[in-house]
Amino acid sequence: MTFKRRPTKLVPVPSRALVPERDVNRSPILECINLGVTVGGLKAVENFNLTIGRTEIAGLIGPNGAGKTTVFNLLTKVYQPTSGTILLDGQDTHSMTTMQVNRAGIARTFQNIRLFGNLSVADNVKVAMNNSMHYGMLSSILRLPGFRREERAAHRRALRLLSIFDMQGMADVKAGSLPYGAQRRLEIVRALATNPSLLLLDEPAAGMNPSETVELMENIRKIHDMFQIAIVLIEHDMNLVMNICEGICVLNFGHIIAKGTPEDIQSDPAVIEAYLGKQREAR
Ligand SMILES: Nc1ncnc2c1ncn2[C@@H]1O[C@H](COP(=O)(O)OP(=O)(O)OP(=O)(O)O)[C@@H](O)[C@H]1O
């Protein structure tokens, strides 16, 4: 069955940091300026303006099809913007590839889990670290001392990262045989292994039960405090979003309809209408 989408009155929302920077001398980690993209003839995202502070936890929410994942695809250069600019730590990412953006500091997880199911948990993490390894192909084929040294250091680091989620004991288990919640946690560890300054989490709580979601919330806070990085999460679990995010940006039909603190967002008439409208359509 298809539901008709009712147009919502869109009010332009000015660009400003979701949360004032704690250290006013530090520039934001991310600035999106008038960002837009047309996908398959549809303006999936338009006039997207957002600034994320260096240690901010922000939420990107909105009804299904609002354009949230498209924003992540723009930030990670899966899609090239049709208009606008992305500044990552002040640097224009226009000419960068997905891998270069990752090296420059953006890591992400996906709505659908993307792990190497036949590799061990530790190897999944080490593959993600490969960007920062220095040994050459010959060194790895011949297993020269330089390769072995780096390999041991990578393994130790993988175990340290896994221990954030208390998963170091699973290092040798095949990733594909982990329970669902553990696979989602492993995805986050893999993203952290690339040393990001901005971590993008696409529906991290999807498919988790309530106790796993509470644990996830604590772990996101832990990561934030340990690494002092910015985190943007797309999430439909409003309890998680409202509890963890300092600032929230709401998308509907590819446009920002509201930005602000969780308190601002919960009482914003445009946001209430966007969500209630969806419920009415579904009846
Ligand atoms: N590759 C694509 N081809 C065609 N349309 C696309 C493509 N990517 C995104 N879209 C369209 O862009 C719009 C936004 O999609 P997007 O996946 O970003 O929404 P979303 O807010 O992440 O939704 P959900 O919460 O359901 O994941 C949708 O109408 C979608 O169909």
66 lines ligand 1 (CB under 6 A): yes
User: Percent of the chain beyond pLDDT 90?
Assistant: 70
> What is the rounded distance in angstroms from the CA atom of residue 201 to the CA atom of residue 191?
9
Q: What is the pLDDT of residue 17?
A: 57
ipTM: 0.93
Residue with tokens 């997905």: 98
pTM over the 0.80 mark:
yes
Ligand 1: distance of its center to the CA of 130 in Å? 30
213 lines ligand 1 (CB under 6 A): no
Ligand 1: distance of its center to the CA of 234 in Å? 13
> What is the rounded distance in angstroms from the CA atom of residue 63 to the CA atom of residue 46?
16
62 lines ligand 1 (CB under 6 A): yes
Q: Does residue 219 contact residue 181 with C-beta atoms inside 8 Å?
A: no
Relative to beta strand 57-61, strand 106-108 is unpaired
144 lines ligand 1 (CB under 6 A): no
Ligand 1: distance of its center to the CA of 75 in Å? 15
Note the pLDDT tens digit of each residue in 112-158: 888 999 999 999 999 988 765 555 555 555 565 666 777 788 899 99
Domains of the chain: 26-105+196-282 (3.40.50.300), 115-193 (no CATH)
246 pLDDT more than 90: yes
